[in-house]
Amino acid sequence: METRTPAAPSSPVSAQLAAFISDASWEVIPDHIRHEAKRSVLNYFAVALAGCNDPTLDRAVETYARFSAGPQATLVGRRERLDMLNAGALNAMSANVYDYDDTHIPTIIHPTSPVASSLFAFSETQPLSGKDFMLAFVLGVEAQCRIGLAISPFHYNRGWHITSTCGVFGSAMAIGKTLKLTPTELCWALGSAACQAGGLVESLGTMSKSVSVGNAARNGMLAALLAKEGFDGPAQPLEGVNGFLRVFGDEPNFSAVTRSLGESWEIAKVAYKPYPCGVVLNPVLDACLALSARIDPRRLDTIESIDLTGHPLLRQRTDRPDIKTGRESQVSAQHAVPVSLLRGSAGLDAFSDQAVGDPKLRALGSLLRFHDDETYSIDSAKVMLRFRDQSTEQEHVQMARGSLQRPLTDDEIEAKLRDLCRYGRSGCDAGRLIQAVWDMEDAADMGRLARLAEAPN
């Protein structure tokens, strides 16, 4: 069988990206992008504090701590301190474990957890100012999202977990920027990152998903640190004949990595979730909560069928009828629909192991039928309920809450942090943390901010 080789890019993609990151200064970051970086960090702490005491983290911390090189860095919401690499990995896990993190809408990458976790861990090993942190953060997000754009949608559709596979580049470039790597060294870091990229969609709903998300942060840091020591790599780690983009993509769009660098910013296409589940479920939950609010609860007991219409990705990612755990329920329409209809809520408690075991929810979920419609965006969905008397009720959400068109406000993200801090039971002072994030542009030492997120003794 003949194998088609993608056409060579018109310019050296890896070198151009590395040169941009090396040359970029604080002054090139527009004010609205600086503000978005702060919103991303607020959301990061919200979701990391929610997940900090989840059993996934308990087991991972116990294991990783056996191999820690020393108590260099904070674990968000916990008392333990580990070395920089392991702390970065565990904090990335914590921020992603509940699927409540941010989403780069064009690629479905969750960009902040690998990059922020790396930078905060790094900031506790040597001084890092707020401006330097924010510059490195924005550049790391830019790199991973652009690399993701070049291989989307094939990459995710093929089964690669894109946050993990592309997050390693974001971590590498962010740490590389703080280390002041040269363009050549940044190319080397891209090469070492590419050799460590991995993660499978098959792992969603299980603890093993967290391993690759943690590795994205840890391995990216390692790639940059190695490059700083002269550890070389290929000249074209992204676009080479056997480079990342050709191996992990079908027909990669090389220009997506470099087009309009410094003019358009991918962090502007990042949205923040109002619910702890796969982003494609957001409009479904909006619709179900609206239906729940207006329908008599006694009538909900007479539902005969539920028709769910949405983008084909909705069915592909959430058609999971036989879930057994709360983790699986976060990517299951058969759970999300009945729990939001019958309970009128869609917080973390609605996606718990206890909720999954409710036989009433399971029975109602079995009545759900998917209808694919490519004219729908991933931020839209329609839910139609048919009752035993053959009457119907429906709700069509054109644009989900938390989407780019209906973004969470600054106040809503602050409220999310406060709520999830309480949920995670860390005892952290959410108010101090929120204020420190808004003020971080003027911070002299971001390590101090990182330590505000540790559990009090």
pLDDT, tens digit (0-9, with 9 covering 90-100), for 411-428: 999 999 999 999 999 999
Residues 259 and 295 in one domain: no
pLDDT band at 1 (very low <50, low <70, confident <90, very high): very low
Q: Is the pLDDT of residue 94 over 70?
A: yes
In angstroms, rounded to a whole number, what is the distance separating the alpha carbons of residues 93 and 435? 24
Residue 258 lies in a domain: yes
Q: Which residues of 324-341 are buried (b: 16+ CB within 10 A; e: fewer)?
A: eebbbbbbbbbbbbbbbb
Q: Identify the pLDDT of residue 59.
A: 97
Q: How many domains does the chain have?
A: 2
pLDDT tens track for 338-363? 999 999 999 999 999 999 999 999 99
Residues 112 and 198 in one domain: yes
| Claim: this prediction has a pTM higher than 0.85 | yes
Which residues make Cβ contacts (< 8 Å) with residue 421, sequence separation at least 6? Answer: 46, 49, 50, 77, 428, 430, 433
pLDDT band at 327 (very low <50, low <70, confident <90, very high): confident
Look at residues 187, 193, 166 and name the one whose alpha carbon lies nearest to residue 111. Answer: 166
Which residues make Cβ contacts (< 8 Å) with residue 261, sequence separation at least 6? Answer: 16, 17, 20, 142, 146
Task: Please list the residues that pair with 243 across neighbouring strands.
Answer: none
Q: Which of 397, 419, 438 is the last residue of a domain?
A: 397
Residues 41 and 126 in one domain: yes
> From the CB of residue 409, how many other CB atoms can be counted at a distance below 10 Å?
10
Q: Is the pLDDT of residue 82 over 60?
A: yes
Q: Identify the pLDDT of residue 279.
A: 85
In angstroms, rounded to a whole number, what is the distance separating the alpha carbons of residues 221 and 234? 18
In angstroms, rounded to a whole number, what is the distance separating the alpha carbons of residues 162 and 114? 12
How many residues would you count in the chain?
457
Q: Are 272 and 408 in contact (CB under 8 A)?
A: yes
Which residues make Cβ contacts (< 8 Å) with residue 213, sequence separation at least 6? Answer: 92, 93, 96, 110, 113, 114, 161, 163, 164, 167, 199
Residues 381 and 440 in one domain: no
Half-sphere exposure of 335 (CA within 13 A, CB side): 32
Q: Identify the pLDDT of residue 34.
A: 98
Instruction: Tell me the CATH number at 85.
Output: 1.10.4100.10
Task: Please list the residues that pair with 384 across neighbouring strands.
Answer: 307, 394
In angstroms, rounded to a whole number, what is the distance separating the alpha carbons of residues 187 and 185? 5
Residues 265 and 285 in one domain: no
For 18, the token pair is 């590395």
Residues 390 and 424 in one domain: no
Residue 436 burial by Cβ neighbours in a 10 Å radius (0-12, 13-18, 19+)? buried
- Show the CA angle centred on residue 107, arms to residues 102 and 109, nearest 5°: 35
Residues 227 and 322 in one domain: no
Residues 285 and 267 in one domain: no
Q: Which of 372, 397, 422 is the last residue of a domain?
A: 397
State the chain's mean pLDDT as an integer: 95
Peptide bond into 30 cis (omega under 30): no
Q: Which domain holds residue 323?
A: 279-397
Q: Are 166 and 144 in contact (CB under 8 A)?
A: yes
Residue 96 lies in a domain: yes
Q: Identify the pLDDT of residue 7.
A: 64
Residue 402 lies in a domain: no
pLDDT tens track for 105-147? 999 999 999 999 999 999 999 999 999 999 999 999 999 999 9
Which residues make Cβ contacts (< 8 Å) with residue 237, sequence separation at least 6? Answer: 14, 187, 190, 191, 193, 194, 243, 244
For 445, the token pair is 């030492």
Residue 221 lies in a domain: yes
Instruction: Tell me the CATH number at 334.
Output: 3.30.1330.120
Residue 2 lies in a domain: no
Residues 174 and 318 in one domain: no
Residue 6 lies in a domain: no
pLDDT tens track for 171-211? 999 999 999 999 999 999 999 999 999 999 999 878 999 99
Residues 218 and 302 in one domain: no
For 21, the token pair is 């990151």
Report the amino acid identity of residue 332. Answer: S
Residues 119 and 179 in one domain: yes
Residues 205 and 291 in one domain: no
Residue 456 lies in a domain: no
Q: Are strands 81-82 and 103-104 parallel, antiparallel or unpaired?
A: unpaired
Residue 296 burial by Cβ neighbours in a 10 Å radius (0-12, 13-18, 19+)? exposed
Q: Can you tell me the mean pLDDT for 440-452?
A: 97
Q: Identify the pLDDT of residue 278.
A: 84
Which residues make Cβ contacts (< 8 Å) with residue 306, sequence separation at least 6? Answer: 337, 364, 367, 368, 369, 383, 384, 385, 386
Residue 244 lies in a domain: yes
Q: Is the pLDDT of residue 8 over 70?
A: no
**Percent of the chain residues topping a pLDDT of 90:** 92
pLDDT tens track for 272-312? 999 998 889 999 999 999 999 999 999 999 999 999 999 99
Radius of gyration of the chain from its Cα atoms, rounded to whole angstroms: 22
Q: Can you tell me the mean pLDDT for 155-166?
A: 94
For 398, the token pair is 């054109």
